[in-house]
Amino acid sequence: MRTILAMTAFWLAATGCANDPVYIDPASGPMPQMPIEGGLTDAMGNPIDARASLVLPIRHEKTTEAADRAKKQALLAMDAAYAGVEIPYVKIGDIEVSIEWKITNLDAMPGEARILLEGANQFFAYDSTMLVLSNDDEAPPPPALSGNIPLAVPASGSIEGLFREDEIREAAIDLDQITRGNVNPFRATLTISKNAASFDQLTPLMLVPADQEPPPQMPTGIVFPREAFPQLLRYDLVFVADRHMTLAYNIRVRDTRGILTDELLDAPASQFEYDPTSFMPPLFTVAAAP
């Protein structure tokens, strides 16, 4: 994650064949984003939540694509193990995504920062900072989909790095395991699943009183095959810093299926399959035990 990137490549825009990357700059488009500021506090001295979010500019699904997906869906439904498993429009492998980032320390003292990667697919959103997995005050906080690693930032200096393609792929699969598969977030994020062919759905997690053990989770018999793994469509970054710092980022996409809008973020809103202003899949939560 902390791989140092060449300065000349940070804001590069590229076009070409399917394996050539396209760079989506959050500072472009009708709703440009400025670098987010971390390490700030409100009038009461409480840390201000520093966040950034970007929905990929995915074009509308074509009639032929929808028909092909429906045919695959029907074939999948013929197997009882896949009953009710929905094939998403944007699957793992349709695009390969990485996120380049740059942290700048605006303070004269060295500091420490962390970047938490959260996000959403077409079915669910995940935000570890809003999630409650336990009623025990001493329980560890829920894990982010990726990141949350301490990063040393020199005084009045900058560091650069990225979330690699395989890390984003892992995060996307973890999100599907956590949400549609009911897999405990700790288990999902600590298990390497980026090359998994399938995963089993479990009975739902339950939130119980601090003095009780949650009920065991059992397989439901439903299996999610890789062809039904959804890709992350929205990328949410939570920036935590102990000094006044800024975080700038850039999303790099290899569009292997040709599903990005031609004009990327500058495309008319009518071209977006997932409207950035209204794309709000339900947030994953854990229900309290009855």
Is residue 60 domain-resident?
Answer: yes
Rg (the chain; Cα; Å):
20
Q: Is residue 279 part of a domain?
A: no
Kindly state whether residue 281 falls inside one of the protein's structural domains. Answer: no
What's the confidence (pLDDT) of residue 2? 35
- Name the nearest CA neighbour of 113 among 242, 23, 211: 242
Question: Does 286 reside within a domain?
Answer: no
**Sign of the alpha-carbon torsion through 140, 141, 146, 148:** negative
Read off the amino acid at residue 280. M
- Cα–Cα distance measured from residue 144 to residue 237, given in angstroms and rounded to the nearest whole number: 10
Number of domains, the chain: 1
Cα within 13 Å of Cα(227), Cβ side: 10
Distance CA 85, CA 183 (A): 16
Quick one: pLDDT at residue 135? 82
Q: Are 232 and 120 in contact (CB under 8 A)?
A: yes
93 domain residue, yes or no:
yes
Residue 126 DSSP SS3: strand
Residue 284 lies in a domain: no
Does any domain span residue 197? yes
In whole angstroms, what is the distance from residue 227 CA to residue 92 CA? 8
Note down pLDDT in tens along the chain; length 290 residues.
333 333 333 333 333 455 788 999 998 877 788 899 999 888 887 778 899 999 999 999 999 999 999 999 999 999 999 988 999 999 999 999 999 999 999 999 999 999 999 999 999 999 999 998 888 888 889 999 999 999 999 999 999 999 999 999 999 999 999 999 999 999 999 999 999 999 999 999 988 877 777 788 899 999 999 999 999 999 999 999 999 999 999 999 999 999 999 999 999 989 999 999 899 999 999 888 77
Domain range enclosing 106: 7-271
Q: At 243, which amino acid appears? A: R
pLDDT at 18: 57
In a domain, 79, yes or no: yes
pTM of the model: 0.89
Two tokens, residue 279: 């794309």
**Nearest by Cα to 201 from 290, 71, 84:** 84
Is the Cβ–Cβ distance between 34 and 52 less than 8 Å? no
